[in-house]
A and B are shown apart, each in its own frame.
Chain A
Amino acid sequence: MAKRGIPVLKKPGGNFCPGCGHNIFHRLICEVIEELGYENNQMMCFAIGCACNHAAVFNGENTMGPHGRPASVATGVKRTNEEMLVTTYQGDGDAYVIGLQDTFNAAYRNERITQFVVNNTCFAMTGGQMGWTTLPGQKTATSQTGRDTDTTGAPLKFPELVRNDFNAAYAARGAVHNPKEIRKTKGYIRQALEAQIAGEGYSIVEAVSICPTNWHMSVDQSIDFLEKEVLGAFELGEIVKRRGE
Chain B
Amino acid sequence: MSETVLMKGNEAVAEAALRAGLDFYAAYPITPQTEILEYLSKKMPELGRVCVQADSEITAINMIMGAAYTGKRVLTSSAGPGISLKQEGLSYCAANDLPVVYVDVQRGGNGLANMGSCQTEYKREVTGGGNGDYHAIILAPASVQETADMVSLAYELAEKYRNIVGIMTEATIGQLVEPVTFKEAVDPASLPVPSWAKTGKMISSSDEPIKPRIKDAKPKADRAKYFQMKEEVQMWESTNVDDADYVVFAFGAPSRVVYDALLILREEGQKIGMIRPQTLWPYPEKALEELKEDVKGLISLETNCTGQMLPDVALARDLHFKDRHVPVYSCAYIVLDRIPTVMQVVDDIKAIISGQTEEAY
Which residues of A are interface residues toward B (Cβ below 8 A)?
8-9, 11, 39-43, 45, 55-56, 58-66, 69, 72-81, 84-85, 101-102, 105
A84 to B198, CA, bound (A): 11
B-side contacts of A59, CB under 8 Å: 202-203, 205
**Chain B residue, CB-CB nearest to A54:** B209
> Does A76 lie within 8 Å of B210, measured CB to CB?
no
Is B281 in the interface zone, CB < 8 Å from A?
no
Is B67 in the interface zone, CB < 8 Å from A?
yes
Distance of A197 from chain B, by nearest CB (Å) = 13
A59 to B59, CA, bound (A): 27
Distance of A173 from chain B, by nearest CB (Å) = 25
B-side contacts of A105, CB under 8 Å: 54-55, 59
Is B70 in the interface zone, CB < 8 Å from A?
yes
Give the one of A41, A62, A65 with max B CB within 10 A: A65
A63 to B92, CA, bound (A): 11
Distance of B23 from chain A, by nearest CB (Å) = 6
Distance of B50 from chain A, by nearest CB (Å) = 5
> Does A63 lie within 8 Å of B63, measured CB to CB?
no
Is B66 in the interface zone, CB < 8 Å from A?
yes
- For B89, give its contact among A39, A56, A66, A81 (CB under 8 Å): A66
Is B74 in the interface zone, CB < 8 Å from A?
yes
| Extra contacts besides A9-B202, A58-B203, A76-B66 (6): CB < 8 Å | A40-B201, A62-B209, A69-B58, A73-B66, A102-B58, A102-B59
A-B contact pairs, 6 of them (CB 8 A): A65-B65, A69-B62, A72-B58, A72-B62, A76-B74, A80-B72
> Does B55 lie within 8 Å of A76, measured CB to CB?
no
B-side contacts of A64, CB under 8 Å: 92, 95-96, 210, 213
Q: How many residues of B contact A (CB 8 A)?
A: 37
> Does B66 lie within 8 Å of A55, measured CB to CB?
no
Distance of B250 from chain A, by nearest CB (Å) = 36
- For B210, give its contact among A55, A69, A85 (CB under 8 Å): A55
- For A61, give its contact among B50, B88, B198 (CB under 8 Å): B198
Question: What total count of A-B pairs have CB within 8 Å?
Answer: 118
Is B341 in the interface zone, CB < 8 Å from A?
no
> Does B202 lie within 8 Å of A79, measured CB to CB?
no
- For A101, give its contact among B58, B200, B205 (CB under 8 Å): B58
* A63-B52 CB under 8 A given contacts A73-B62, A76-B67, A76-B68: no
Is B155 in the interface zone, CB < 8 Å from A?
no
**Chain A residue, CB-CB nearest to B73:** A80
A80 to B69, CA, bound (A): 11
A65 to B92, CA, bound (A): 6
A58 to B56, CA, bound (A): 31
Distance of B278 from chain A, by nearest CB (Å) = 30
* A77-B67 CB under 8 A given contacts A56-B209, A64-B92, A66-B89: yes
Is B26 in the interface zone, CB < 8 Å from A?
yes
> Does B66 lie within 8 Å of A61, measured CB to CB?
no
Give the one of B65, B68, B198 with max A CB within 10 A: B65
Is B306 in the interface zone, CB < 8 Å from A?
no
- For B202, give its contact among A61, A63, A80 (CB under 8 Å): A61
A-side contacts of B203, CB under 8 Å: 58-61
Closest 9 pairs between A and B when the two form their complex, measured CB to CB: A76-B66, A72-B62, A76-B67, A76-B63, A73-B66, A69-B62, A72-B59, A77-B66, A105-B55
B-side contacts of A75, CB under 8 Å: 52, 59, 63, 66
> Does A65 lie within 8 Å of B201, measured CB to CB?
no
> Does A56 lie within 8 Å of B63, measured CB to CB?
no
> Does A79 lie within 8 Å of B69, measured CB to CB?
no
A200 to B74, CA, bound (A): 26
**Chain B residue, CB-CB nearest to A70:** B62
Encoded as 1 (CB less than 8 Å from any A CB) or 0, chain B from 19 to 46 comes to 0000110100000000000000000000
Is B64 in the interface zone, CB < 8 Å from A?
yes
A-side contacts of B59, CB under 8 Å: 69, 72, 75, 101-102, 105
Is B199 in the interface zone, CB < 8 Å from A?
yes
> Does B63 lie within 8 Å of A39, measured CB to CB?
no
> Does B200 lie within 8 Å of A42, measured CB to CB?
yes
Distance of A101 from chain B, by nearest CB (Å) = 6
A101 to B203, CA, bound (A): 31
> Does B58 lie within 8 Å of A63, measured CB to CB?
no
A102 to B88, CA, bound (A): 15
> Does B92 lie within 8 Å of A43, measured CB to CB?
no
* A79-B50 CB under 8 A given contacts A41-B200, A66-B92: yes
- For B205, give its contact among A11, A62, A79 (CB under 8 Å): A11
A-side contacts of B74, CB under 8 Å: 76
> Does A72 lie within 8 Å of B205, measured CB to CB?
no
- For A76, give its contact among B62, B96, B213 (CB under 8 Å): B62
> Does B24 lie within 8 Å of A76, measured CB to CB?
yes
B-side contacts of A76, CB under 8 Å: 24, 26, 62-69, 74
> Does A40 lie within 8 Å of B200, measured CB to CB?
yes
> Does A80 lie within 8 Å of B62, measured CB to CB?
no
> Does A65 lie within 8 Å of B72, measured CB to CB?
no
